[in-house]
Structure 1
Amino acid sequence: MPYSGPPRSTVQVPAPITILAQERPLLPVWQNELGGLTFQIGDGEERSFAKWAPAGSGLDLAAEAERLRWAGSFTSVPRVRDYGEREDGAWLVTEGLSGESAVSPRWTADPATAVRALGTGLRALHERLPVAACPYSWSVGHRLERARLAGMEAPEDLPDPPPIDHLVVCHGDSCAPNTLLHEDGSWSGHVDMGALGVADRWADLAVATWSTEWNYGPGWEDALLDAYGISPDPMRTDFYRRLWGAT
């Protein structure tokens, strides 16, 4: 699987990020397989985070800014401070939330607490975001069409979608790193919401449970589902994991 995580080597700071930081400390904290970078600007309660998406990466920070502004009326997500773009890429600056990533060293050393927070946090997100008022889609058809326009073809063995279990506003990238935890181990908020949209809740649950294996090792999927308050559904889990790989 392509690497996403804290930078493993020195990264070049894009000029717009340097300008935004001014004289404040600047720390690269994340990179993804598409070339995107996230930097922490400043520290303490006044810290902010700047994302950089290189041109041609396929990362749509404008869409994320729009979705964060919408979701922020209902649940705990970063507040947008600035968005801009130029020929070589785009940037998005958000305020820092309290807490730290569920994959920080503290929480990977305590997976029972982290996984419980992932489940309760995802359930809270799904309950708080209003489906009827959401202008964004993350449906199967929407995702396959976007993949087609991007030149990706769905695998021939992708089965027909299972019946909808329950429509919610999905996070769209419910992997463990995108949930923040308070000091006491409760969930604090969610980040990286560029794909947010209405879909079956299993579109999020399939990926959230999958990510427990990537981040904490095998054996934690049922604990997440239990914290969410739902029984395993192997059919829907399998389908939405295949769809994740295809889109």
Structure 2
Amino acid sequence: MIGTVSRPVISGFPDASVAVPEIVVKLAGDDTITPVWENELGGLTFRLDGGPDGATRYVKWAPPDTPELNLDDEARRLSWAQRWITVPRVIEHGIDDDGSWLVTLPVPGQSAVAPQWIVDPTSAATAVGRGLRMVHDTLPVEQCPFDWSVEQRLARARERLSDGEQLVDRLDPDQHPDVSDPNALIAEPPPTDVAVVCHGDACAPNTLLHDDGTFAAHVDLGSLGVADRWADLAVAAWSTVWNYGPGYEEIVYDAYGVDPDPERIAFYRLIWDIT
């Protein structure tokens, strides 16, 4: 059984009706259910408001058979990271035949792709870079039990491939026009620049800003793990093109405090697309 609510226009999504999974309806009780995000794999995020205690909660839901959206993995990573940085606090999580879910408390701030920041991309891109630097400087590599290395990402991607499909078959040549032999690049990654605990999906929508434009927090840490800092940086800067248009990548690097590294940027964007 599912319910339906009218989906508001958020981050450019069209106004439409979205199916609310039964577990979300059950978790909500008498709360108001507001859909706030949908990803390309069918994952949904809902805000629950107006319960007896007046508290707001968020529910992430993933359909079955989507290993890329492992909410149990995300719950473990959030519980680990909350000792050092501001992340959503886990209330509960679970799985059934219809999908999996993760319930968290809210964190302060609005997404860097909220309407007020879409029209102020310089502030948003600055917060993306500074927030990422804070995470990289704060989370302790030596205590992190999670891995996001190139080897681990490629191994997991190969596990998910259908018979006969190759990693390079997933590559969009329009995004990587200068890559003539992706297999060779995969086989020889550049040496690690600086090993950090990476966010794992440091795109602009997952960065939250305070009303004054300063960095507030991160969400969607399901892939958090140790890797080269450029695994995050290359994609964080790239995401400004997708969300704001060209011209803001350099702002991310400046705010982070690093000069662009063309070789590592190209490599980690290639890995992002393939995996």
Give the distance between the partners of 2:109 and 2:31, measured in 1 at CA: 21
Cα deviation, 1:2-61, whole Å, max 9, x if unaligned, reads xx9665321110011011111111100000010000001116x83111001010122100
Counterpart of 1:154?
Answer: 167
Paired residues for 1:197-212 under 5 Å: 197-212=225-240
Counterpart of 1:76?
Answer: 86
Cα 1:147/1:245, change in 2 over 3 Å: same
Q: SS in structure 2 opposite 1:12?
A: strand
Counterpart of 2:148?
Answer: 138
Counterpart of 1:176?
Answer: 204
Paired residues for 1:63-142 under 5 Å: 63-142=73-152
- Establish whether residue 229 from structure 1 lines up as the match of residue 257 from structure 2: yes
Give the distance between the partners of 1:222 and 1:115, measured in 2 at CA: 9
Give the distance between the partners of 2:57 and 2:129, measured in 1 at CA: 26
- Alignment identity in percent? 52
Which ranges in structure 1 are unaligned for 5 or more consecutive residues? none
Counterpart of 1:57?
Answer: 66
Give the distance between the partners of 2:72 and 2:125, measured in 1 at CA: 30
Amino acid at match of 1:157: P
- Establish whether residue 195 from structure 1 lines up as the match of residue 223 from structure 2: yes
Q: CA deviation at 1:157?
A: 1.5
Q: Answer whether contact 2:198 2:232 (CA < 8 A) is retained.
A: yes
Cα deviation, 1:197-241, whole Å, max 9, x if unaligned, reads 000000000000000000111000001100000001110000000
Counterpart of 1:48?
Answer: 57
What RMSD over aligned residues (CA atoms) do the two structures have, in Å? Answer: 1.6
Counterpart of 2:178?
Answer: none
Which ranges in structure 2 are unaligned for 5 or more consecutive residues? 1-9, 169-180
Give the distance between the partners of 2:91 and 2:17, measured in 1 at CA: 26
Counterpart of 1:29?
Answer: 36
Higher Cα Rg, which structure: 2
Cα deviation, 1:55-87, whole Å, max 9, x if unaligned, reads 012210000000000000010100001101111
Q: Answer whether contact 1:131 1:168 (CA < 8 A) is retained.
A: yes
Q: Answer whether contact 2:11 2:114 (CA < 8 A) is retained.
A: no
Give the distance between the partners of 2:255 and 2:60, measured in 1 at CA: 31
Cα 1:180/1:83, change in 2 over 3 Å: same
Give the distance between the partners of 1:166 and 1:186, measured in 2 at CA: 25
Q: SS in structure 1 opposite 2:18?
A: coil
Residue of 166, 175, 193 corresponding to 1:165: 193
Cα 1:47/1:6, change in 2 over 3 Å: farther
Amino acid at match of 2:246: P
Could you tell me the TM-score, scaled by structure 1's length?
Answer: 0.95
Give the distance between the partners of 2:27 and 2:157, measured in 1 at CA: 33
Could you tell me the TM-score, scaled by structure 2's length?
Answer: 0.86
Cα deviation, 1:128-165, whole Å, max 9, x if unaligned, reads 10000000000000000001111163325241200110
Amino acid at match of 1:39: F
Amino acid at match of 1:228: Y
Q: How many residues align?
A: 244
Q: SS in structure 1 opposite 2:151?
A: helix
